[in-house]
Amino acid sequence: MSNLEPNEPHVGVYICHCGGNISDVIDVKRVATELGLHPNVVISREFPFMCSDAGQKLVIEDIRSGKINRVVIAACSPMLHELTFRKTLQRAALNPFLYEHVNIREQASWVHKGDHEGATQKAIRLARAGVEKILLQDELEEIQAKATKHVLVIGGGPAGLKAALNMAARNLRVTLVEKSSRLGGHLHELDTLYPSGESASALLAKLLAQVNESPLITVVVGTTVTAWDGFVGNFTATLSSGATVNAGAVIMATGYDHVIPAGGEYNYGGDPRVTTLPKLIEHLKTSAGKPLVWNGVPVKSVAFIHCVGSRQTEGVHAPQADGKVNDYCSRVCCTAALHSINVLKARQPDLDIYDLYRDIRTYGRGHEAIYEQASKNGVLFFRFTEDAQPEIREHTVVVKDILTWGEEVEIPADLVVLVTGIKQGAVGELIDMMKLPVSSDRFLQEAHPKLRPVEVANNGFFLAGNCQAPMDLVESSAAAGAAASKIAALLSKDYIPLDPYVARIDSEKCTGCEACIPECSYTGALFMNEGTKKAEVNAALCKGCGACVAVCAPRALDLAGWSIAQMEAMVDAMVTEVPA
């Protein structure tokens, strides 16, 4: 029988064997026994598989019996099963946030296989820390934000068009804002497309017809977003026309810009024989089927040079405007170059083509066949290293070819095609206005590359296409589809449930010192109430970063679910001795 008052926390602790994954290393019985000694722990069990139906039923029955009102499960990583067990609590009509998940598998049994005693002691301490944390946990409630069932898509390239169509297919209204005078983005510049061989113009015409036919899509061209306000479920965008759009979510589909070779790089700009891959493709598009003529001169030999403006190294390449080099791979250019080579060879089989590369990255489905075809077409490949760039001479290109052990080879070239990379478009103003995270390569950053690949950490923002990273049409289209289905799920109900892990303020303790205000990077999330002279949080705008918490001397501010008091209690539990 417990000596606890009914309103005190009664904790149930469950130690999972994970079918031996945990119990082969950690003495789970001893962990359960030790935890059972804690004054607030009224049930402490171990069980073969806590995530199984039987394991969850055990928890539900214990809750329903009225013996426990808090749950700690020591098992695998919370990233796998935190949500599973929250739902278990919900099924037993207990607040799902009165649950703490302790990782004793990935961060204990699997990494301390040779030290069973050490791993067991660690598991005891970690489980105790979980108990201490949950003792200080309140019944958190999901935050509910109104869901405006209208989506703003910024950028009318192929990714934006696909995103808009995907959302209209899910019955969502869409406003598609395009900065230039026409929809289609870089699809306008492309000729036949790899890997399908389809015509870019035909694909664009198909997409535009579908967009025009949809009564749910409103297109505004020659327009940008000039002001931004609101939060997930209820954003307001002001357009350059002065109109406003109210949207529940937004898809960034602003695409890319071509890298222009730095002044004088490979004589670009000075030597008329030197051009870029996008310019060659444009030429191919307007000279269908004809042999290659450049500046009025028939071309007999072409040299392609890969990785121009991509995979740059500090000290070797001139930095970009922000002082950093483009150290990333632009991904699409290898295949695009080899595809153009095959198009040229099909038109003009006697054309001599030399391909100077650092690595060939034909990574996508069907791309390797394009490389093989280029080899079969008699293209000669030379491989150079970043510190020995090919040199452009009057009618030739000189390359130190590492495939022939560094031999210097002089290649005839009537035309030199620089296989230029791609970079983030000019979206600095949007980034500042919307406070979007940017990764070190300047592209927009997803919340998590594997777990949340099309979502931005800022709630309600999604990514499609090349504004996130270099990608081809197949990948851009897949990202657009993924973003659209994420949004369809987000806006499916009248309210959007938000994680309750946001800053909150105990106004009794707040002295109005304002120290927290400059710590917050998100406009409107944290502000001073002019009437009460106390700080206040707008839960829908707060990102839960905790930056403000650290500076609040009277500890009026805390992150719900992650309070400093909870973290301190965990620390104390982690250093408390365990009987050997």
Partner 1 sequence: MSTVESPDTNAPKILIITTIASSYTGANTVGQARAQYAPNTYIMRVPDPVMFPEDFYLRCFEKGFSGIIIMSSGSDCPYEGAYGRLSARVGRVYLTMREKGIPTNRLKLTTVCTVCKHAFLKEIDDMQKVVREQAA
Ligand X SMILES: Cc1cc2nc3c(=O)[nH]c(=O)nc-3n(C[C@H](O)[C@H](O)[C@H](O)COP(=O)(O)OP(=O)(O)OC[C@H]3O[C@@H](n4cnc5c(N)ncnc54)[C@H](O)[C@@H]3O)c2cc1C
Q: What token pair was written down for 307? A: 């990785």
* Cα–Cα distances in angstroms (integers) from residue 318 to residues 41, 90, 370, 544, in the given order: 63, 58, 32, 39
Interacting residue with ligand SF4 among 557, 569, 570, 573 (CB under 6 A): 557
Interacting residue with ligand SF4 among 110, 522, 527, 562 (CB under 6 A): 522
CB of 336 to ligand SF4, least distance (A): 8
Q: What token pair was written down for 504? A: 């909150």
- Degrees to nearest 5, angle at CA 232 with 210 and 257: 55
Q: Is residue 503 part of the contact set for ligand SF4 (CB under 6 A)?
A: yes
DSSP characters over 335-373: HHHHHHHHHHHHH-TT-EEEEEES-----STTHHHHHHH
Q: In this structure, how many other beta carbons lie within 10 angstroms of the beta carbon of residue 426?
A: 10
Interaction partner, residue 419 (partner 1, ligand SF4, ligand X, none; CB < 5-8 Å by kind): ligand SF4
Q: In this structure, how many other beta carbons lie within 10 angstroms of the beta carbon of residue 502?
A: 22
Interacting residue with ligand SF4 among 223, 330, 348, 476 (CB under 6 A): 330
Q: Which amino acid is at 394?
A: E
* Cα–Cα distances in angstroms (integers) from residue 95 to residues 82, 91, 420, in the given order: 14, 10, 55
Interacting residue with partner 1 among 376, 448, 493, 533 (CB under 8 A): 448
Residue closer to partner 1 by CB (options 123, 336) is 123
With a CB cutoff of 8 Å and minimum separation 6, the contacts of 486 are 454, 455, 462
N-term to C-term CA, the chain: 27
DSSP state at residue 458:
S
CB of 337 to ligand SF4, least distance (A): 7
- Degrees to nearest 5, angle at CA 199 with 195 and 203: 95
The β-bridge relationship of strands 293-294 and 297-298 is antiparallel
Interaction partner, residue 437 (ligand SF4, ligand X, partner 1, none; CB < 5-8 Å by kind): partner 1
Interaction partner, residue 224 (ligand SF4, ligand X, partner 1, none; CB < 5-8 Å by kind): ligand X
Q: Please check whether residue 425 is in contact with residue 256, taking contact to mean a CB–CB distance below 8 angstroms.
A: yes
CB of 364 to ligand X, least distance (A): 8
Q: What does the chain come to in residues?
A: 580
* CA nearest neighbour of 478 among 166, 264, 58, 169: 166
**What is the per-residue binding string for ligand X in 454-483, x denoting contact by CB under 6 A?**
-----------xx----xxxx-x-------
Q: Is residue 362 part of the contact set for ligand X (CB under 6 A)?
A: no
Interaction partner, residue 94 (ligand SF4, partner 1, ligand X, none; CB < 5-8 Å by kind): none
CB of 442 to ligand X, least distance (A): 14
Q: Is residue 439 part of the contact set for partner 1 (CB under 8 A)?
A: yes
**What is the per-residue binding string for ligand SF4 in 285-314, x denoting contact by CB under 6 A?**
---------------------xx--xx---
CB of 362 to ligand SF4, least distance (A): 8
- Binding to ligand SF4 (CB under 6 A) within 391-430 occurs at 419, 421
Q: What token pair was written down for 205? A: 């015409």
- Binding to partner 1 (CB under 8 A) within 472-501 occurs at 501
Interacting residue with ligand SF4 among 136, 262, 474, 545 (CB under 6 A): 545
CB of 231 to ligand SF4, least distance (A): 11
* Cα–Cα distances in angstroms (integers) from residue 165 to residues 17, 207, 239, 330, in the given order: 48, 9, 22, 27
Q: Can you give the binding site for ligand X, defined by CB under 6 A?
A: 154-160, 177-180, 185-187, 190, 193-194, 224, 253-256, 277-278, 281, 332, 336, 339, 422, 425, 427, 430, 465-466, 471-474, 476
Q: Can you give the binding site for partner 1, defined by CB under 8 A?
A: 23, 27, 29, 77-79, 103, 105-108, 110-119, 121-122, 125-126, 129, 435, 437, 439-440, 445, 447-451, 456-457, 501, 519, 521-522, 543-547, 549-552, 559, 562, 564, 567-568, 570-572, 574-575, 577-578, 580
